Structure formats: C-alpha cells, structure tokens
Chains A and B, each alone.
Chain A
C-alpha cells in the first residue's frame, strides 16, 4: 500500500490536512509532519525522514508539501531516507485528498497516486 506524508510549516496544519484526507483514505497510512525543532513554524529534514519511514508500507510514499523550504527540506529528507518517495507538485490539501482516494485502489502505485495528487492542480473551485 502506498503511504502518504503531509508536510507543512505548521504541525497543526499538517495534522488537520491529514485528518481531512483520512476521511477518504481507508487503511492508507497518512503521516503529518511540520514545525521547527522548537515547535515553531518551519520544517526539519530529520522529522520528515522519520515520517517517511512511518508511512512506508513497502510500496513507497507520496509526499504533499506546502511552501518554499518545505519542498527543499523534503528533498533533503528523501535523499537521506531509505524509503522510496516522491513529492507531488500539487496543492497540499486538495492533493492529499486526491492522493488518499487514489491510494485505496488495489492497483495503486507510487506513480498513480502521485499523478492523482497532481491532478488536483486543475480542479476549479468556482
């Protein structure tokens, strides 16, 4: 099963987004991660690496990220990690929900889940 990690500058935001996505996710593991080493706003590669390991069920992990340094710190975490993981270039909430749905498919792969997450870029709200 493909796992999901949600990375935000705020742990609270990552947790809330994960809760929303979990509604659609069945058994899919979703790990929220965020905040700096003092619990402030930021992201830390070590914490992201730990979240990747926690979400990995053997089929890899798709990562949803918010802004700027979350992307860079996630790239570093993936380089340091044993887990096969890919960042989805997608809005973090919509992408997480799409990815959660895609991950429940019996045929889901790292590629298919990432692709569905990225399809969230084209969803109109109005």
Chain B
C-alpha cells in the first residue's frame, strides 16, 4: 500500500473507532448532559459518528483529507445540535490542512485550525466549562511537543491526550459560562462537561488508532504539565 492510501486507511479506521467508542459511551455522555444540558449529547454524537463511519467506508480511493472532510460533513448534516457545527464544521474546515497528506507538521496545522474554528464558532475560552477546556491544552501540548520538544508524533499525541484528561477534570469544579449549562449558573458546579468528555474520547481513539497503525504500543507519558498559553485562561 502507498503511504498516502495507508494513511487514508488509518483515517477511516480512526473514524470507525471513534464511532464505536462514542456508541459505547453513549449513555455516559447522555448522563453527563442530562445533569447540565438537554440530555442529547450521547444520542446526537452516536448518530452522527455512526453515519460518518458509514460515509467514510463508502469512499472510493480515499485520501486523509477526503476522509476527514467527509466525516465532518456527515456530522454537520446528522447531528442536529451545537455538536454538528462545532465538531463537524471544524473538521470540514481543518481538513484542508491535510491536503498534502499526514505528517507531524500537517497534524499540528490541522489541530490548530480545528481549535481556531471551534473557538470562532462557539466563542468560548478556557474556564467556560466547554470542550475548549480539553481542546486548548491538548492542541498546545501537541504543538509544543512536536515543534519545541521534538518528540515523535505518537508521543506528542499521547501527551496531548493526557493534557485533555486534565482539561476534562478541570471542568468539574467550575461554573459554566457558555452553552446551555450556563443557564444553570452555580448549579453547573460539580458536573463534568459532556463536550470536553467526548473530545477526550475522540482523542483517545485517535491515539489508539495511530499506535495500531504504526504498530507501536501507546506511549506512557508524564502528564503533570499540560501546556496552556499565557493569558488564555484569564482573558476576558
């Protein structure tokens, strides 16, 4: 198999693995969302990712870009809630960064564009109790690990997943300032954000798929210091 079609096959596998994981976690995500939202996150995401997995499997001679774009477009048309534009729309726009294939550099560009799109669309910042709380430390940790620390991509991704885990934990004690949970005010305190949680699940599946694809074991990382850029958490 050529490197490009090999990477595309891995991308298809990643979408399928995410779909399976979200289906497994469907009830859990719905429970999290029923505490502070409208209890549709598990169902919406499961339906969207299932359709995305079917759509990417149907592609003739797929590329990584086409797989990611198709998954995004399918989420956009199937989800029916804020997760559609936030997860799906961001995948569609960020997929262009993978037009020359999947490398450590293009993966960083993809992650940065994805984050930028989620931030533009959702207008949330770190500390608002949203998926941004998982995504910002994950993307910045990934970028720093690749560009500054010169880690192999799989190690960089493992660190990013660890950073996202910290981000998810961080959503529990804080008060929601965005999304439907913000209507609850202080009653949102003590609940884990469903969007941050599903973002972590997606990243865990990307990591597991990448490790499988590279025929390596998932690296264990020191997760004590996720990277959050200066000012990100305090900006108004």
> Which residues of A approach B to under 8 Å, CB–CB?
35-38, 40-46, 68-69, 72-73, 75-76
Question: Is the pair B82, A37 in contact by a Cβ cutoff of 8 Å?
Answer: no
Bound CA–CA A72/B83 (angstroms):
10
Bound CA–CA A40/B76 (angstroms):
15
Given the interface pairs A72-B85, A72-B121, A73-B85, the reply to whether A46 lies near B77 with Cβ below 8 Å is yes
B 147-187 binary contact with A (CB < 8 Å = 1; else 0): 00000000000000000000000000000000110000000
Question: How many whole Å from B233's CB to the nearest CB in chain A?
Answer: 24
- Residues of chain B at interface, number, CB under 8 A: 19
Besides A37-B78, A68-B82, 12 other A-B contacts (C-beta < 8 A): A44-B80, A44-B84, A45-B76, A45-B77, A45-B84, A68-B180, A69-B81, A69-B84, A72-B85, A73-B85, A75-B85, A76-B76
Q: Is the interface of A mostly helix, strand, loop or mixed?
A: loop
Q: Is the interface of B mostly helix, strand, loop or mixed?
A: helix
Bound CA–CA A75/B86 (angstroms):
11
Question: Is the pair A43, B80 in contact by a Cβ cutoff of 8 Å?
Answer: yes
Bound CA–CA A36/B82 (angstroms):
11
Question: Is the pair A69, B82 in contact by a Cβ cutoff of 8 Å?
Answer: yes
